[in-house]
Amino acid sequence: MNTSKFNLQKVVRKNIAALKPYSTARDEYTGTALVQLDANENPYSSIDGKHYNRYPDPHQLELKQVVAKLKGVSESKIFLGNGSDEAIHLLYAAFCEPASDNIIICPPTYGMYQVSADTHNVACKEVRLTSDFQLDTDSILNSIDAHTKIIWICSPNNPTANALHTKDILKIIENSACIVVIDEAYIDYSSQESFTALLDRYSNLVVMHTFSKAWGLANIRLGMMFASAEIINIINSIKLPYNISGLVQEYALEVLSNPAHIALKNKLVEETLQQRKKLSAELLQFSDVVKIYESDANFILVTIKNARSVYESLVKQGIIVRDRSGVILCENSLRITIGTPEENILLVNTLREILA
């Protein structure tokens, strides 16, 4: 089923639709070569004597095969980027005409959607979440105009930690002619199903995942975007040719091909969920803690009296949390990542001293 209102040709920028993408040496010859003299590489070796002298696969086919299995999404519907941030950047470049198009965000939410909009000179319409941090679907749908290209939905949402209602998200996907991005960076910690299961049903749906959180690979910078093959083709046509280094492809393949690593990831997610419950219960013992919001992520948003001064006292003790007090609807709130059991105990003990 195609989303009836959505027409990709109307959403993509005209210059991008007409673009003739850069063709790499790797694109122009794909067989195995006896002598490879087509890419101006150093033919001997990398200077460390290893094999990094050759350009990597620009399409990351081997890695995509592993990701496809892991996520149950076919390779043609996968884009791999230098973190989710690259995917965010490329969505603007592909679909948003600078100084003319606009996008919708739902604050309080992840800051990169707005920063990237500003970078691309794309107007950012804000439709606040409701007081229980859910989507105001009617206002969102009413805010769409002929120049609205993307609606950004983060679920579970950062910094509020909660998952957004599936029926609300569906209402927006089904009733809009623009691209709807669901950023599911924290999906591994959530009790909700991923929207990747609905990719075949909705041609305007884009889902983003990352290896930076539950997979413990923030350092290697590897993000995933899932969408129709048509949308992925457009994104591939404008990405930097070799956007994922050979080192990262090699390393991710090794990590993700090992069943023991997958098992450990699942175990650590379980442990984080247990710690989330334990830490939340302990924090609620403090009379200064006003509220802890429902979490579907590996962090909690805690409303606490004098949040700024609590934050500063924690910093003095070497414990760093994120002060979100300045964020709309998050007054006097700290965003706390769930740490190891030892780190969480240290946090609670330090807070006990500070609040005494």
Ligand X SMILES: *Cc1c(COP(=O)(O)O)cnc(C)c1O
Where do contacts with ligand X occur on this chain (CB under 6 A)? Answer: 83-85, 110, 154, 158, 183, 185, 210, 212-213, 218, 223
Cis peptide upstream of residue 156 (ω within 30 degrees of 0): yes
Residue 111 beta carbon to ligand X: minimum distance, rounded to whole angstroms = 9
Would you say 110 or 226 has its CB closer to ligand X? Answer: 110
Nearest in space to 107 (alpha carbons), one of 130, 139, 86: 130
**Residue with the closest Cβ to ligand X?**
83
> What's the closest the beta carbon of residue 312 comes to ligand X, in angstroms?
24
Find the shortest distance in angstroms from Cβ 113 to ligand X: 9
- Could you tell me the smallest distance in angstroms from the CB atom of residue 106 to ligand X? 12
In the chain, beta strands by DSSP E: 78-81, 102-105, 123-126, 148-154, 179-183, 205-210, 223-226, 289-292, 299-304, 322-323, 333-337
Whose Cβ is closer to ligand X: residue 85's or residue 97's?
85
Closest to ligand X by CB, 101 vs 183, is: 183
Which CB, 286 or 295, lies closer to ligand X?
Answer: 295
Distance CA 117, CA 300 (A): 27
> What are residue 174's phi and psi, to 5 degrees?
-75, -25
Give the span between the Cα atoms of 155 and 304, in whole angstroms: 24
Nearer to ligand X, 173 or 185 (CB): 185
Least distance from C-beta 2 to ligand X, angstroms? 27
Indicate the SS3 state at residue 105.
strand
Whole-angstrom distance, CA of residue 250 vs CA of residue 245: 9
In angstroms, the CA 101 to CA 97 distance is 5
Pairing outcome for strands 78-81 and 223-226 = antiparallel
- Distant-in-sequence, close-in-space partners of 316: CB < 8 Å, separation ≥ 6: none
Name the minimum Å distance from CB 304 to ligand X. Answer: 21
Cβ distance to ligand X smaller for residue 185 or 231: 185
